[in-house]
Structure 1
Amino acid sequence: MTTSQILKEILRLAIPAMLALASTPLLSIGETAMIGRLGAEPLAARAIGAALTGAIYWVFAFLTFGSTTLIGHHYGAGDVKACGETYLHGLFLAVIGGAAIAAVCIVFAPELYRLMGADDKVAELGARYFRVYIAGAPCTLIMLASVGFFRGVQNTRTPMVLAFFTNGLQLILGYGLIYGHFGLPRLELLGAAVAAVIAQSAGALTYVGSFFLGRETAPYRQISSQICKERLVPLFRIGQDLAIRTGALRGSLVFATATAARMGAVTLSAYEIAFQLFMLCSEVIDGLAVAGQALVAKYLGSGQRSTAFRMGKIVTACGAVVGVGFALFFLATREPILQFFTSSTQVHATLTFELFVLVGLMQPFNGIVFVLDGLLIGAKDTRYLMWAMLAGGLGLFVPIAWLSLRQGWGLTGLLIGISALMAWRLLTNGYRFGTWRRSA
């Protein structure tokens, strides 16, 4: 394939994936802005809840990333039956895992908030919010497994459409239920949780319906409905590595939120804004990572190793360019961004211009890191990613975050810790891609 043909393939998958992924942090940003106007305590409660659910759901991200890799390899090899059966087993794990998550978290919601360092008022408010929100866990995991299937068969358009639908529905319902508009009751923070559960349920039903009723998915439905070891074991193997790797990453971010919570509601609110900007960039650039992962899996599944390597170089360069764009945007719009999120002068003073510069400068490096993650996952190199993330999260970030609390470094220390973690991932991922490409 020529370079232009490879780039066309990347963009065909990446643009819908970018738009779909960007809708999630945009939803979170909009929800954060709405809740932020209720006061510091509701915003802090929402921040802790988001950190907890993010950590939990990202441990189960193998339902998306593992399925994409396995189904992509089957797709490249022309094994349509294996594609459908892998998805069916992903749904099975989603329902079982989601029900278990919901049950445990509903029971231990107050304890989880206190473990995160929330004071009594935030813990009481947050526990009510979290118990409702986490009830939608089975539906959320079903959506994760479904996204993995569609990406694996080189279709990112369907997940884009359904992401717009579910996130748009949640935002509209959230606005109505938080403030009491559209004839809906004013539930404030609890309204955001109710809106999320309704949207998650609608999204899960639509995804499953798209597979079992859609014309394009008909060839993939010629499958056995029995749960078998042949399909579960590969999912568990790649899922184990990704769950530990992602658990270390999200655990580091949860530790950062817990550390910020112990620094006070103002610092936590400022950290939440910086984190939302970080996630916006990561979700958009992850669209390129999705394209890289799906294409690497397909090319390797069909034996085209040299094409997989060439594609990897091109998509990594694209990630760096998008990261530079985000850096320039953040640096040019600091004041409007802060005004959008909160009217608190204390939060504005905490999130200084210098810290905004730090957040901006991180983005080009983040762009390369996120894309390399996708490439290595698509190549089934998940065990290496697991060990590298454990070393970076536990050996580098957690000590810096702990020192930030003990030494009074505040938000500056936390953001430096995140920057150090991303630098570590850049070095380790870049090294591994170099060794992988030499074998191509």
Structure 2
Amino acid sequence: MVSSKDSQVSARRVFGLALPALGVLAAMPLYLLLDTAVVGRLGASQLAALGAAAAVQSVVTTQLTFLSYGTTARSSRLFGSGDRQGAIAEGVQATYVALIVGFGLACIMWLFGGQIALWMTGNPETASLAASWLHVAALSIPITLVEMAGNGWLRGVQDTKRPLYFTLAGLIPGAIAVPIFVHWWGLVGSAWANVLGMGIITLLFLLELKKQHTGSWRLRPS
């Protein structure tokens, strides 16, 4: 039986888990503020196109937060029962789901991004700009979902520092690339900077999963 003293969790431990997780949640909005400020200097049409395209991209990805929070719940249940490898294995399955769903959504963006942009903007010129952003940013959909799954299983094993380090390792180069890429390629440069930043983050999560997982890599549809 666990004594009440052993079951107590210190405030230091709670904040040690919560503050890095808060940093991960705050990092992306700050990056988007920079992205918006840089694109805004291109002109009103480009800013309007970015607003419409980013709204579509946000809806596509944020509606799949179960990949993060659902994975955290499943992983933490196993981790709490002493099955660390089982908790990490939940991250493997969540990553498969992220890749399958992500590539499906990316294909939808490649096929119908122009029509979706036109519905969002109601202006052919703005829609064309938004569609060009969406077609490039579609590459970041599966990697963003993999990043969400990575956050999920690492939080489940009570590691919130690595997700913060990985996020900063990707978003800082992405933030540096935004003004450079936008200068070179205009609005589409913003999308490429996003792909770069998220790609680095996702690669780090995948490497960490490979490092920690020692069981089967087989996809389990159940």
TM-score, scaled to structure 2: 0.92
CA contact 2:24–2:167 (8 Å) conserved in 1:
yes
Per-residue deviation at 1:9? 2.5
Per-residue deviation at 1:113? 1.1
Q: Residue in 2 aligned with 1:226?
A: 218
Q: Matched residue of 1:116: which SS? A: helix
1:207 corresponds to which of 202, 205, 222: 205
CA separation in 2, counterparts of 1:69 and 1:6?
Answer: 21
CA separation in 2, counterparts of 1:36 and 1:120?
Answer: 19
Query: Are 1:143 and 2:141 matched, yes or no?
Result: no
Q: Residue in 2 aligned with 1:13?
A: 17
CA separation in 2, counterparts of 1:157 and 1:97?
Answer: 27
AA aligned opposite 1:190 = V
Per-residue deviation at 1:6? 4.1
Q: Deviations over 1:51-83 (max 9, x none)?
A: 111111012211111100110111111122321
Per-residue deviation at 1:5? 4.0
AA aligned opposite 2:124 = D
CA contact 2:84–2:157 (8 Å) conserved in 1:
no
Q: Matched residue of 1:191: which SS? A: helix
CA contact 1:68–1:152 (8 Å) conserved in 2:
yes
Query: Are 1:66 and 2:70 matched, yes or no?
Result: yes
CA separation in 1, counterparts of 2:207 and 2:133?
Answer: 29
CA contact 2:102–2:141 (8 Å) conserved in 1:
yes
Q: Deviations over 1:247-284 (max 9, x none)?
A: xxxxxxxxxxxxxxxxxxxxxxxxxxxxxxxxxxxxxx
Q: Residue in 2 aligned with 1:290?
A: none
Q: 1:72 to 1:165 in 2, by over 3 A?
A: same
CA separation in 2, counterparts of 1:228 and 1:23?
Answer: 33
CA contact 2:170–2:196 (8 Å) conserved in 1:
no
AA aligned opposite 1:106 = W
Q: Residue in 2 aligned with 1:178?
A: 182
Percentage of matched positions with identical amino acids: 26
Q: Residue in 2 aligned with 1:357?
A: none
CA contact 2:88–2:209 (8 Å) conserved in 1:
no
Q: Residue in 2 aligned with 1:168?
A: 172
Q: Deviations over 1:379-420 (max 9, x none)?
A: xxxxxxxxxxxxxxxxxxxxxxxxxxxxxxxxxxxxxxxxxx
Within a 5 Å distance, the mapping from 1:286-325 to structure 2 comes to none
Query: Are 1:130 and 2:134 matched, yes or no?
Result: yes
Unaligned 5+ runs, structure 2: none
CA separation in 2, counterparts of 1:64 and 1:176?
Answer: 31
AA aligned opposite 1:225 = W
CA separation in 2, counterparts of 1:228 and 1:60?
Answer: 20
Query: Are 1:112 and 2:104 matched, yes or no?
Result: no
Larger relative CO (CA 8 A, sep 6+): 1 or 2? 2
RMSD: 1.6
Q: Matched residue of 2:219: which SS? A: coil
Q: Residue in 2 aligned with 1:196?
A: 194
Per-residue deviation at 1:118? 3.4
Q: Residue in 2 aligned with 1:29?
A: 33
CA contact 2:91–2:209 (8 Å) conserved in 1:
no
Within a 5 Å distance, the mapping from 1:227-266 to structure 2 comes to 227-229=219-221, 232=222
Q: Matched residue of 1:108: which SS? A: helix
TM-score, scaled to structure 1: 0.47
Unaligned 5+ runs, structure 1: 180-185, 233-440
AA aligned opposite 2:102 = G
Q: Residue in 2 aligned with 1:159?
A: 163
Rg larger in structure: 1
Q: Residue in 1 aligned with 2:94?
A: 90
CA separation in 1, counterparts of 2:131 and 2:157?
Answer: 39
Q: 1:103 to 1:224 in 2, by over 3 A?
A: same
CA separation in 2, counterparts of 1:82 and 1:142?
Answer: 18
CA separation in 1, counterparts of 2:179 and 2:52?
Answer: 20
Per-residue deviation at 1:41? 1.2
Per-residue deviation at 1:225? 2.3
CA separation in 2, counterparts of 1:11 and 1:118?
Answer: 46
Per-residue deviation at 1:44? 1.1
CA contact 1:84–1:223 (8 Å) conserved in 2:
no
Per-residue deviation at 1:86? 1.0
CA separation in 2, counterparts of 1:194 and 1:86?
Answer: 31
CA separation in 1, counterparts of 2:171 and 2:122?
Answer: 28
